[in-house]
């Protein structure tokens, strides 16, 4: 099954800056997820997005995070004021209706200095 693509592949930013990570589905999927993986740690769920609305979010997903699908195609994760501890790999995943399986993108490596 085709995956999603993510841009950028790498991003370096200064603490306090805003970053936008993008996920581009290959086809018109309805169910999207963001996960993050801090170096050496497990993959952690951030948020699920269905039909242009957040359907569930974790404790990690606080007010500095937001998601949207601005043009009906790209799916974005915005971090408003980055912190050092936001440095991680961020993965977008998609799921099709009728399937429980999530397929992951290649990730964006975010480094906050």
- Provide the binding-site residues for other proteins, judged by CB under 8 A: 1, 3, 31, 33, 35, 41-45, 48, 50, 55-56, 58, 89, 91, 95, 100-107, 109
Closest approach of other proteins to the CB of residue 83, in Å: 22
101, with CB counted inside 10 A (0-12, 13-18, 19+), is exposed
Closest approach of other proteins to the CB of residue 102, in Å: 6
90, with CB counted inside 10 A (0-12, 13-18, 19+), is buried
Closest approach of other proteins to the CB of residue 43, in Å: 4
33: CB partners within 8 A, 6+ apart: 45, 46, 47, 48, 49, 92, 93, 94, 95, 102
Closest approach of other proteins to the CB of residue 92, in Å: 9
18 vs 53, which CB is nearer to other proteins? 53
Helix (H, G, I), strand (E, B) or coil at 55: strand
74 vs 81, which CB is nearer to other proteins? 74
């Amino acid at each position: 099954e085709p995956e999603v693509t993510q841009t950028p592949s790498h991003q370096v930013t200064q603490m306090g800056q805003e970053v936008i990570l993008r996920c581009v589905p290959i086809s018109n999927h309805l169910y999207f997820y963001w996960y993050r993986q801090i170096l050496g740690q497990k993959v952690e769920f951030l948020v699920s997005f269905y039909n242009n609305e957040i359907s569930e979010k974790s404790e990690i997903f606080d007010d500095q995070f937001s998601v949207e699908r601005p043009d009906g195609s790209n799916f974005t994760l915005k971090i408003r004021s980055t912190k050092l501890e936001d440095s991680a790999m961020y993965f977008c995943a998609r799921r099709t209706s009728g399937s429980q399986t999530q397929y992951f993108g290649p990730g964006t490596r975010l480094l906050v200095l």
